[in-house]
Amino acid sequence: MAVEIALKRDTPIVWADTTDYSTIHGLVRTHQIDMTSLADGAARQGEDADLTAIKAQHYTVKVCVEFGASAPTALEPITVYFGSSASATTGFPGGLGASDAAYTGRSSDLANSIRSLVGPFTAPVSALGAGTVQIFEMGVLHGAEVDRYVVPVLKNDGAQAFDTDATNMYIALIPHIYEDQSA
């Protein structure tokens, strides 16, 4: 008897700003991160999210950003990392907390602290005009790489600050589960 396995997309975990995020892209905000005016070279962490005791096998990492007054420099990166813990709100690596905040790393050492996180998931930005929304599927985070509670970190190296509102900006983990279809 043949075994049929279907790959199914589950409910996305979406970090966005509660103040002004719009669901125009079809993703509903589930957790807080405010990337408003994130400066070039700076990083921002979101609040912790519970992947539940039965994590998905893998998650697509999807990010949407919008640069502000000036166009970013072509091919400069934005990068996403994830820190995780088996406990909610504590035990995250690299000086991460469990709340939306600027991320400077442990002892303000961003470069070394970020190395203790899972990633990098990197995408080169396009030199499109200011206010242009850029959406990236940045890779796959494997469920086995992280503990139950995760915190995302986004680092902007696009040579320009992000927009002054966070209407279009988010980080999403889109879980994919395998389902036995042979029964």
Please list the alpha-helical segments (H only) found in the chain: 110-113
Q: Please state the rounded mean pLDDT for residues 62-76.
A: 92
7 has a pLDDT exceeding 80: no
Neighbour count for residue 86 (Cβ, 10 Å): 9
Whether the ω angle into residue 120 lies within 30 degrees of 0, i.e. cis, is yes
The whole-number average pLDDT for the span 13-24 is 94
pLDDT band at 24 (very low <50, low <70, confident <90, very high): confident
Tell me the C-alpha distance between 169 and 149, whole Å.
22
Task: Report the pLDDT value the prediction gives residue 183, as an integer from 0 to 100.
Answer: 63
Q: How far apart are the C-alpha atoms of 35 and 166, rounded to whole Å?
A: 6
- Measured from the Cβ of residue 137, the count of other Cβ atoms closer than 10 Å reads 13
Q: Tell me the pLDDT band of 121, cut-offs 50, 70 and 90.
A: very high
Lowest mean pLDDT among 1-5, 22-26, 54-58: 1-5
In this structure, the strands spanning 77-85 and 149-156 are antiparallel
pLDDT above 70 covers a percentage of the chain that reads 99
Residue 95 to residues 140, 141, 159, Cα–Cα distance (Å):
24, 21, 25
**Taking a C-beta distance cutoff of 8 angstroms, is the pair 122, 158 a contact?**
no
For residues 146 and 176, what is the distance between their CA atoms, to the nearest angstrom? Answer: 15
pTM for this structure? 0.93
Give me the mean pLDDT over the 24-30 stretch: 93
Which of these ranges, 109-113, 133-137, 144-148, 174-178, has the smallest mean pLDDT? 174-178
pLDDT value, residue 137: 97
Q: Average model confidence (pLDDT) for the chain?
A: 93
Domain ranges in the chain are 9-177
Enumerate residues 6+ apart whose C-beta is below 8 A from 140.
58, 59, 60, 61
pLDDT band at 1 (very low <50, low <70, confident <90, very high): low
Does domain 9-177 bear CATH number 3.40.1350? no
DSSP state, residue 30:
-
Q: Is the pLDDT of residue 129 over 70?
A: yes
Listed residue (167, 157, 168, 100) closest to 135, CA to CA: 168
